[in-house]
């Protein structure tokens, strides 16, 4: 494809990422997941429900982004993912996780703050966990579902994520399959099992 044939070209731009705070001050989209959005994801559903009782529905994680429009092949989407610390029963807080709708698209996560793991799996049954700490870059290859898990205990896990503009998010398959491994705290230790 020549430059003239590329559809919907956009102009170059620059955006501030505050590396100390782990924020993108100019974000225009703010996606919020509350505890009630996580029903069905944790091993101990009773422990999750006990968090949600009454008017309470605590914040679980957020995504801050400035979408690159249109979301098409050749462009890159980027965002900040911020996952709160905590546990549901013994299981550390995590994101829902997803495959990309266009399954052969990769993603890079650069951890800016906090600590935890990137849990990954393929539809074929492979599973991997990469430790995340400030400065760690995790490469999620094409076809690998991915979920972040905050094991820090007391601070948010914040990452800068970059992925192809046409990737999309497929939550349905992970909702149905789950991940083969979960991350728990047992006797003060982090256990992946």
Binding site for Zn ion (CB under 5 A): 107
Phi, psi of 51 (to 5 degrees): -75, -25
Q: 53 or 97, CB closer to ligand PAN?
A: 97
Nearest residue (beta carbon) to ligand PAN: 81
Instruction: By CB under 6 A, tell whether 164 contacts ligand PAN.
Output: no
Q: Single out the residue of 38, 88, 107, 149 in contact with ligand PAN (rule: CB under 6 A).
A: 107
Strand runs labelled E in 59-133: 59-65, 76-83, 87-88, 91-92, 107-113, 115-122, 127-133
Return d(Cα 19, Cα 164) in angstroms, integer.
Answer: 22
At residue 162, the 3 state secondary structure works out as strand
Return d(Cα 93, Cα 87) in angstroms, integer.
Answer: 5
Q: 160 or 184, CB closer to ligand PAN?
A: 160
Q: 81 or 151, CB closer to ligand PAN?
A: 81
A 10 A CB-CB count for 87 gives 17
Instruction: By CB under 6 A, tell whether 102 contacts ligand PAN.
Output: no
Q: Single out the residue of 24, 38, 48, 79 in contact with ligand PAN (rule: CB under 6 A).
A: 79
| Distances, alpha carbon 40 to alpha carbons 96, 175, 193, in Å | 10, 8, 18
Return d(Cα 106, Cα 140) in angstroms, integer.
Answer: 6
Segment lying near ligand PAN (by CB under 6 A), choices 46-54, 92-100, 129-137, 150-158: 92-100
CB of 39 to ligand PAN, least distance (A): 14
Instruction: By CB under 6 A, tell whether 81 contacts ligand PAN.
Output: yes
Judged by the rule CB under 6 A, the positions of this chain that interact with ligand PAN are 63, 79, 81, 95-98, 107, 146-148, 161, 163, 169
């Amino acid at each position: 494809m020549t430059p003239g044939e590329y559809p919907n070209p956009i102009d170059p731009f620059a955006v501030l990422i505050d590396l100390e705070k782990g924020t993108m001050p100019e974000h225009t989209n703010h996606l919020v997941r509350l505890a009630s959005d996580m029903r069905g994801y944790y091993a101990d559903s009773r422990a999750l429900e006990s968090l949600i009782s009454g008017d309470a529905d605590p914040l679980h994680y957020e995504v801050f982004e400035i979408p690159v429009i249109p979301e098409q092949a050749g462009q890159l989407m980027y965002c900040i993912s911020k996952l709160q610390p905590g546990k549901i029963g013994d299981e550390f807080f995590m994101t829902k996780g997803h495959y990309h709708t266009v399954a052969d698209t990769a993603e890079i996560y650069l951890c800016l703050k906090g600590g935890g793991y990137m849990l990954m799996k393929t539809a074929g049954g492979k599973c991997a966990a990469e430790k995340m700490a400030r400065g760690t870059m995790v490469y999620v290859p094409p076809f690998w579902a991915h979920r972040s898990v905050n094991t820090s205990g007391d601070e948010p896990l914040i990452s800068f994520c970059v992925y192809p503009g046409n990737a999309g998010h497929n939550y349905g398959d992970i909702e149905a399959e789950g991940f083969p491994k979960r991350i728990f705290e047992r006797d003060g230790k982090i256990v992946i099992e």
